[in-house]
Amino acid sequence: DVQLQESGPGLVKPSQSLSLTCTVTGYSITSDYAWNWIRQFPGNKLEWMGYISYSGSTSYNPSLKSRISITRDTSKNQFFLQLNSVTTEDTATYYCARSAGYLYYFDYWGQGTTLTVSS
């Protein structure tokens, strides 16, 4: 069964960078699909942030394009989110999720990790 699990620092100071890891089990991230980061703000708004595909190509939400990077470690079957110059508005629950082929709906999700940006 495919499982995704996020991990991260929990708390980051404003202007710093956040780094999150998504560990995938039960499926190789190089076989197929796209591997996404999605966040949910307090108040429950959902925002797609970007993905890294099975081939290593990336796509980012233009609203984040100057601050975001998604990379991977295929040997560990993990992919990563880096978001630079964070502000309090980046406080959210961050999910990693798999999206299906060209249809880009999200069929498997991690449980989410809460990130607070505060000094």
Partner 1 sequence: DIVLTQSPASLAVSLGQRATISCRASESVDSYGNSFMHWYQQKPGQPPKLLIYRASNLESGIPARFSGSGSRTDFTLTINPVEADDVATYYCQQSNEDPYTFGGGTKLEIK
Nearest to 88 by CA among 14, 10, 8: 14
Q: Which residues of 86-113 are buried (b: 16+ CB within 10 A; e: fewer)?
A: beeebbbbbbbbbbeeeeeebebebebb
104 binds partner 1 (CB under 8 A): yes
Question: Whose Cβ is closer to partner 1: residue 63's or residue 85's?
Answer: 63
**Which window, 7-15, 22-30, 61-69, 79-87, contacts partner 1 (CB under 8 A)?**
61-69
84-103: which residues touch partner 1 (CB under 8 A)? 95, 97, 99-100, 103
46 binds partner 1 (CB under 8 A): yes
